[in-house]
Amino acid sequence: MKNGTRKTMNKRTLTLTLMALPAAVILFIFSYLPICGLVVAFKEFRYDKGFLGSEWIGFQNFAYLFSSKDIWNVLRNTILLNLVFISVTLVISVTVALLMNEVHNRKVIKVTQTIMFFPYFMSWVVVGYLLYAYLHHEYGILNQILGFFGLHNISWYSQARYWPFILAFMNAWKAAGYYAVVYYAGLMGIDDTYYEAAALDGASRWQMVFKITLPMLKSIIIVMVLLQIGRIMYADFGLFFNLTRDAGALYSTTDVLDTFIYRTLRSTGDIGISSAAGCFQAIVGFCVIMTTNLAVRRLDKDSALF
């Protein structure tokens, strides 16, 4: 390799490294340094003694966490609702991306992408108040519509059975646009010659979707789903807290690990139990994503995350 070429490559590598350095520093500060705080999960933390001086109590915080009568309901809600969110969002976002791929007007695509991205940047606090305007028992828009048709009002914030559907709908409304744009970007990389050859062979649009588009999009879908599965023990606190308004009557179907930890910390002030719950979430998430990735790797090596 010539010296000039080597110098050019070193300069390019240095430039890319400097560009990535701020992100690497932020990742280290906010993702790796906090790992040291997990030691609190194994201690009876006292503010006057600090992290190092507090007494070791082993797995007592974990025992207290799992001895709660509500913990198994909380874990069930966390896992099942996240699975519903992943499934519903995947189907909607892929469908929207496929529909966008059929539109060839660039201005329409840009406007559509902007509109779909807008909910993703809205705060759950704002969305919670908008939802409250629809679901208020007396003045809510939905109850006004029900009354117009002679039906009885529904007390939405005291009927737990409706909320898995409401939360799944609101999560899809907020996140599906983001994932649809990601999948659409993947569709843009598919060579048009595949479709031209299929059209010459007499393939219909549906056949092209199932024989060309979805198989070519499979790798991106698997990566995105794996990343979501890795956080299956985590719940979007803003979604579950602000939309339900922390109504106790809804806990049977909406109480998840993050809201449970928040209430425990608020009532007991014991950060050891909260740290134990966070440690449990991290370990389970790591095991789940490793297991899922291993399964994908055995089925299709090229589609695995690593």
Distance CA(51)–CA(155), nearest Å, equals 46
- pLDDT at position 9: 58
Residues spanned by the domain of 278: 69-303
Distance CA(10)–CA(252), nearest Å, equals 59
Domain assignment present for residue 8? The answer is no
- pLDDT at position 145: 92
- C-alpha distances (whole Å) from 112 to each of 38, 101, 171, 190 are 44, 12, 19, 21
Residue type, 32: Y
CATH number of domain containing 250? 1.10.3720.10
Ranges of H-type helices in 28-162? 50-53, 60-67, 71-101, 106-117, 124-135, 141-148
56 strand-pairing partners: 43
Domain assignment present for residue 44? The answer is no
- How many other C-beta atoms lie within 10 A of the C-beta of residue 127? 18
Distance CA(37)–CA(42), nearest Å, equals 10
Distance CA(246)–CA(259), nearest Å, equals 9
For the chain, which residues score pLDDT lower than 70?
Answer: 1-9
- pLDDT at position 2: 54
Domain assignment present for residue 125? The answer is yes
Tokens of 6: 């080597």
Distance CA(242)–CA(161), nearest Å, equals 18
Domain assignment present for residue 39? The answer is no
Distance CA(113)–CA(179), nearest Å, equals 11
Please tell me whether residue 47 adopts helix, strand or coil conformation.
coil
Q: Are the C-beta atoms of 260 and 248 separated by less than 8 Å? A: no
- How many other C-beta atoms lie within 10 A of the C-beta of residue 54? 18
Distance CA(264)–CA(65), nearest Å, equals 9
Q: Are the C-beta atoms of 245 and 157 separated by less than 8 Å? A: yes
Tokens of 65: 């966490």
Domain assignment present for residue 4? The answer is no
Please tell me whether residue 137 adopts helix, strand or coil conformation.
coil
Tokens of 260: 């449970």
Domain assignment present for residue 83? The answer is yes
Dihedral sign, Cα of residue 192, residue 196, residue 197, residue 203: positive
Counting Cβ atoms within 10 Å, is residue 105 exposed (0-12), middle (13-18) or buried (19+)?
A: exposed
Regarding pTM above 0.75, the answer is yes
Distance CA(269)–CA(244), nearest Å, equals 23
Domain assignment present for residue 191? The answer is yes
Domain assignment present for residue 48? The answer is no
Cα end-to-end span (Å), the chain: 31
Tally of structural domains, the chain: 1
